[in-house]
Structure 1
Amino acid sequence: MRVVATAGHVDHGKSTLVRLLTGMEPDRWAEERRRGLTIDLGFAWTTLSGQEIAFVDVPGHHRFVPNMLAGIGPVPAVLFVVAADEGWKPQSAEHLAAIRALGVRHLLLVITRADLADPETALRQAKQHLGQVPHVVVSATTGQGLDELRAAILALTDRLPAPEPAADVRLWLDRSFTVGGAGTVVTGTLSAGTIAKGEELQLASTGQLLRVRGLHTLGRQCDAVPAVARIAVNLRGVDRAELVRGDALLSPGRWRTATVVDVLVAAELPTELVAHLGSVAVPVRVRPLGTVGARLRLARPLPLRIGDRLLLRDPGRGEVLGGAEVVDLDPRPLRRGGTAARAVELTTNPLTIHLRTKGFARTDELRAAGLRAPEPVFADWHADPEHWAAVVRRAPGEVESWRQAHPLEPGMPAEALRQRLDLPEVALIGPLANAAGLAVSAGRVGGAVLPARMEQALGALAAELAGNPFAAPDLARLAELGLGGKEVAAAVRAGRLLRVAEGVVLLPEAVTQAANVLARLAGPFTVSQARQALGTSRRVAVPLLELLDRRGITERLADSSRRLR
């Protein structure tokens, strides 16, 4: 699944777009539907070419900016909506400031209401602020551009970073309610990690361990839900009133809470602000540390990690002041002259904090601080010897623990190991694995061959596809071969199978083989002609052609025919 949020000025058509794309009503409250105004977060979902996509619809009115920030905070991609008949407006600017402060880099500009005005003026205004981002022009009234919008959303989600299902869970809560016969339910956007039925999660605000009674995602009941996902968690042993927006469910023992943090900032700040992260908004007191740093004292403890980005907002002026990167979760007390000393440290060598708290720094940063660089462990990365030795000792245990929890996975994802060991860059996994005697292949550490029963099943499938590489077996045949859902997923991750769509898998070389077959067709071809040439069914041909479109091998024309690029 991929999760996308909306953004943009009030009444520019964000909720209308979500309704058209999903067929669902994102406005949950009767007052919202009566007034035609989104007040709180809305949620809806759809499937595009086999890809499940959930939408978080946010309010555009300036009075509901905190609700908007709670929706955008955990989401990696945004549909930025600007109406053709109104153009760039004040809340467009505030939403853009929020997106930039949170570090959201994946945007799709959507110009709406193209039936009411020439969209070129609004498009030009938006590009002046957003830069050269992909864009689509649509009209909900006439249907103009909706097919292009769906294709652009798929392209947007294809550019998102790969999910991290093995990472530590930090689920920021955006809703809590009671379901008759089930009890307390909370919802949120799971941006990393996996939550499973029956496991215990830690409530950030109290430290209480809560058992997961049930899980739902996109209206389905599940035994486990990996990131990225919109998720509803049924919890045992806690009243709904104890769970509020901005609290979080955590992997037990994996997160440190902090009330005083040092951050890197690029703006002058007043002494009192509100910091936003995920779905939480917390008052903070600010102590400047020179021109690039500040010490924030939070009104309540939050589960944080170095590298987290906070959005800083002045609620009095209703203004987003910018973003701040957390660089120290346990800063030492400031004594006489300490503010100036800390300012110099942050100004000349921001990652000195990383060296002290994590044991790493780059060559140029050490030189700038007047420090003699030790022997690098990789490229220009240097490590404190004791810290590096401790990390090397921990690595095999972390890999083995992960392997026991995920026996079908072809090794632990390098990014997951980086997070477990708090390494500053995934590139350090290579030298770390060498020092620890661990193998690294295709971005995974400590990989092993697939179980013998899976190798046998994959061999049988390859033999069946040898005669017709596009005759994808149905789910019943896959099950007969011993390739259930978990086994197919493991084979896809290992690069042994290609998932064309839900329930449609082929061998990885099928893409190249299909391109070669289609190259023999004269001129543009229809789906039917492609199906006949490939010797397969529409169940396979349609998603396979859409996959070729996304990879730039084929191009869909205005009359729905295709040609090779």
Structure 2
Amino acid sequence: MLVVATAGHVDHGKSTLVRTLTGMEPDRWAQERQRGMTIDLGFAWTTLPSGATVAFVDVPGHERFVPNMLAGVGPVPAAVVVVAADEGWMPQSAEHLAALDALGVGHGLLVVTRADLADPGPALHRARAELTATSLWAVEAVAVSAVTGAGLPELRAALDRLAAGLPTPSAEDPVRLWVDRSFTVRGSGTVVTGTLGSGRLRVGDELVLADSGEPVRVRGLHRLGQPCREVEPVARVAVNLRGVARDRIARGDALLTEGRFGMVDLVDVRLAGDPVADLPATLTLHVGAAAVPVRVRPLGVDTVRLRLARPLPLLVGDRALLRDPGRHHIAGGVSVLDVAPPPLRRRGAAAARAAVLATMDGRPDLAGELRRRGLVRAADLRRAGVPVTGSPVCGDWLADPDHWRRLGARLVEAVTEYARTHPLEPGAPVGVLRQRLGLPERALVEALVAAPLRLVAGRVAAADLDPVPEPVARAVALLREEFTARPFRAPEADRLAAVGLGDREIGAAVRAGVLLRLTGNVLLPAGAPQQAVRVLATLPQPFTLSAARQALDTTRRVAVPLLELLDRQGATRRLPDDTRMVVGP
């Protein structure tokens, strides 16, 4: 289906032309027909000679209704610029053309109407001159008369050529249907209409409302006035919704594929139009069928930051226009460069940001986004309209290759520095490293670990790091002769201090597995439990605590926690009379 919007000055015959081509009445309201002018959007369609269908979005031409006109033009891929032969180029002709140019509409036709009332040549020549410097500079031109029928066959043929020349939209894209009408049908409930530019709609689909995030279900679809089960782009479509009241959705809202769009209220854009320095502080942003007030912050020669009065589902590469409603003036068209721009808090941040934006062209670019952001979730890129290819570095995280390599080098430096300042610890905790590298998740630190580093028990250390710190190894060596002679005699506190085993050193020795902490500072060699079982197995079974203490040649301070440990390990079993027996062979 070819969907085109009409454009042109009030009373230049746009609705008459649509009515003649389609045999349908595009003016929906009695007030419009009585006044002879389109106030709101009208819709009509017909079949072209090739068998293709053309649907018209007939927009108002009066200056008071330019916002209505923009709601109809915004989502469509092509336009028919209408100029009356007997009146020629007029003020609203210029504003409508400026709007189309700002939105980047490059496909369409120039139609000179009322060729029966005046020579269409002068009007055609002037209109051609006006279109030359715009996105519609190359469109075909046709002169017609809705009264005599002259030129209508040529117009239908031109519409066929226009339809054949339009790029093919993707039905696999997520749905973003801008709502241009919302009403209630008795027995059906809420119905909205819009131009489906990409994506596919099916009966039963679950979507969300952009403004509220409410889930809705597609109860029914109508295309060209007929019910259907599925609609592919480009198409005018009416969607019967289940799960939403009529007063919860209005023009400018959108139906979205869930999870594929982010709602943004801050964007960086490139402006083509008025000088950035001359822009007022407040303008209105027109995108899709929405019109939202924005505050304008100039950044560079042709770039600005817009803060929206309400969030919209915008994507990188979206085209929109800025308009000053007080002056009835189009300030220019904008291309969305970034839908998640960084804050500008430091002195000079705006100038630095302008330099970055100068390198961006408004086309979704995965490599560029990764280069600028370093690290970003794939889902966030998809919600910004950036196609995602390649493999994540961790979970859903994508990284710029150079940034990832730099992070790896910084990790080595951070681990080395931590080892220097914490020589008794067996590596740097992952949580500490996450903070030092400024990473959002612990898993990213773990994904960065590679030779010459290793990850053990939540800590990162050099792969060749001795698990026993040198001061600890030296202190334990001083106790080795004592442990050899009497392995179950725990050193007293003064002896531990004498060999250099303070609290930190003891903790390091226990973590390294060279000492066993029974309780507090009651320490034994690491193999003491196994050796104790062999000694206890030689006693008559069952045995008492006293017998165990004597056999182990130790004190009650050691024997009690040691036997409790053996109980927990299942090496011994405590009986009801508080005696014990060795379990096992």
Report the residue type matching 1:66 in the other structure: P
Report the residue type matching 2:18 in the other structure: V
Given the alignment, which residue of 183, 187, 206 partners 1:181? Answer: 187
Q: Residue 321 of structure 2 aligns with which residue?
A: 311
Are residue 190 (structure 1) and residue 190 (structure 2) matched?
no
Q: Residue 125 of structure 2 aligns with which residue?
A: 124
- 1:186-213 deviation digits (Å, cap 9, x = unpaired): 1110110011101111100011110111
Question: Secondary structure of 1:304's partner?
Answer: coil
Report the residue type matching 2:37 in the other structure: L
Report the residue type matching 2:59 in the other structure: V
Report the CA distance between 1:419 and its aligned residue.
Answer: 9.7
The answer on whether the counterparts of 1:345 and 1:352 sit within 8 Å (CA) in structure 2 is no
Q: What is the rounded CA distance, in whole Å, between the counterparts of 2:362 and 2:179 in structure 1?
A: 34
Please show how residues 393-404 of structure 1 align to structure 2 within 5 Å: none
Are residue 246 (structure 1) and residue 210 (structure 2) matched?
no
Are residue 293 (structure 1) and residue 299 (structure 2) matched?
no
- The TM-score, its normalising length taken from structure 1, stands at 0.64
Q: Residue 167 of structure 2 aligns with which residue?
A: 161
* Cα 1:40–1:177 shift into 2, 3 Å: same
Q: Residue 138 of structure 1 aligns with which residue?
A: 144
Given the alignment, which residue of 206, 209, 212 partners 2:212? Answer: 206
Q: What is the rounded CA distance, in whole Å, between the counterparts of 2:385 and 2:281 in structure 1?
A: 35
Q: What is the rounded CA distance, in whole Å, between the counterparts of 1:328 and 1:223 in structure 2?
A: 36
* Cα 1:354–1:127 shift into 2, 3 Å: closer
Q: Residue 18 of structure 1 aligns with which residue?
A: 18
The answer on whether the counterparts of 1:12 and 1:82 sit within 8 Å (CA) in structure 2 is yes
- 1:400-457 deviation digits (Å, cap 9, x = unpaired): xxxxxxxxxxxxxxxxx99998249xxxx8xx79xxxxxxxxxxxxxxxxxxxxxxxx
Q: What is the rounded CA distance, in whole Å, between the counterparts of 2:40 and 2:372 in structure 1?
A: 48
- Count of residues in correspondence between the two structures: 379
Q: What is the rounded CA distance, in whole Å, between the counterparts of 1:317 and 1:41 in structure 2?
A: 23
Q: What is the rounded CA distance, in whole Å, between the counterparts of 2:268 and 2:246 in structure 1?
A: 34
Report the CA distance between 1:346 and its aligned residue.
Answer: 2.6
Q: What is the rounded CA distance, in whole Å, between the counterparts of 2:32 and 2:213 in structure 1?
A: 35
The answer on whether the counterparts of 2:264 and 2:314 sit within 8 Å (CA) in structure 1 is yes
* Cα 1:386–1:288 shift into 2, 3 Å: closer
Q: What is the rounded CA distance, in whole Å, between the counterparts of 1:213 and 1:354 in structure 2?
A: 33
Question: Secondary structure of 2:180's partner?
Answer: strand
The answer on whether the counterparts of 1:167 and 1:419 sit within 8 Å (CA) in structure 2 is no
Are residue 344 (structure 1) and residue 355 (structure 2) matched?
yes
Are residue 219 (structure 1) and residue 225 (structure 2) matched?
yes
Question: Secondary structure of 2:112's partner?
Answer: strand
Q: What is the rounded CA distance, in whole Å, between the counterparts of 1:324 and 1:51 in structure 2?
A: 32
Q: Once superposed, which parts of structure 1, at least 4 consecutive aligned residues long, lie more than 6 Å away?
A: 352-355, 382-388, 417-421
Q: What is the rounded CA distance, in whole Å, between the counterparts of 1:329 and 1:232 in structure 2?
A: 29
Q: Residue 422 of structure 1 aligns with which residue?
A: 386
Report the CA distance between 1:352 and its aligned residue.
Answer: 11
The answer on whether the counterparts of 1:127 and 1:133 sit within 8 Å (CA) in structure 2 is no
Report the residue type matching 2:16 in the other structure: T
Report the residue type matching 2:20 in the other structure: L
Are residue 323 (structure 1) and residue 333 (structure 2) matched?
yes
Q: What is the rounded CA distance, in whole Å, between the counterparts of 2:304 and 2:384 in structure 1?
A: 27
Q: What is the rounded CA distance, in whole Å, between the counterparts of 1:240 and 1:214 in structure 2?
A: 16
Are residue 29 (structure 1) and residue 29 (structure 2) matched?
yes
Question: Secondary structure of 2:153's partner?
Answer: helix
Q: What is the rounded CA distance, in whole Å, between the counterparts of 1:204 and 1:420 in structure 2?
A: 14
Please show how residues 101-112 of structure 1 align to structure 2 within 5 Å: 101-112=102-113
Q: What is the rounded CA distance, in whole Å, between the counterparts of 2:45 and 2:355 in structure 1?
A: 49
Report the CA distance between 1:385 and its aligned residue.
Answer: 12
The answer on whether the counterparts of 2:315 and 2:383 sit within 8 Å (CA) in structure 1 is no
- 1:159-207 deviation digits (Å, cap 9, x = unpaired): 1110211111000001111111111111110110011101111100011
Larger radius of gyration: 2
The answer on whether the counterparts of 2:41 and 2:60 sit within 8 Å (CA) in structure 1 is yes
Q: Residue 61 of structure 2 aligns with which residue?
A: 60
Report the CA distance between 1:359 and its aligned residue.
Answer: 3.0
Report the residue type matching 1:47 in the other structure: T
Report the residue type matching 1:285 in the other structure: R
Q: Residue 510 of structure 1 aligns with which residue?
A: none
Question: Secondary structure of 2:263's partner?
Answer: strand
Please show how residues 547-558 of structure 1 align to structure 2 within 5 Å: none
| Ranges in structure 2 where 5+ consecutive residues have no aligned partner | 133-137, 392-585
Question: Secondary structure of 1:264's partner?
Answer: strand
Q: What is the rounded CA distance, in whole Å, between the counterparts of 1:36 and 1:170 in structure 2?
A: 34
Identity %: 61
Report the residue type matching 1:245 in the other structure: R
Q: Residue 97 of structure 1 aligns with which residue?
A: 98
Q: What is the rounded CA distance, in whole Å, between the counterparts of 2:76 and 2:165 in structure 1?
A: 14
Q: Residue 283 of structure 1 aligns with which residue?
A: 293
* Cα 1:37–1:385 shift into 2, 3 Å: closer
Q: What is the rounded CA distance, in whole Å, between the counterparts of 2:84 and 2:318 in structure 1?
A: 33
Q: What is the rounded CA distance, in whole Å, between the counterparts of 1:352 and 1:29 in structure 2?
A: 40
Q: What is the rounded CA distance, in whole Å, between the counterparts of 1:2 and 1:419 in structure 2?
A: 28
Q: Residue 423 of structure 2 aligns with which residue?
A: none
The answer on whether the counterparts of 2:292 and 2:308 sit within 8 Å (CA) in structure 1 is yes
Report the CA distance between 1:308 and its aligned residue.
Answer: 0.7
Report the CA distance between 1:340 and its aligned residue.
Answer: 2.1
Aligned-pair RMSD on alpha carbons? 2.5
Q: What is the rounded CA distance, in whole Å, between the counterparts of 1:37 and 1:200 in structure 2?
A: 38
Question: Secondary structure of 2:179's partner?
Answer: strand
Report the CA distance between 1:158 and its aligned residue.
Answer: 1.0
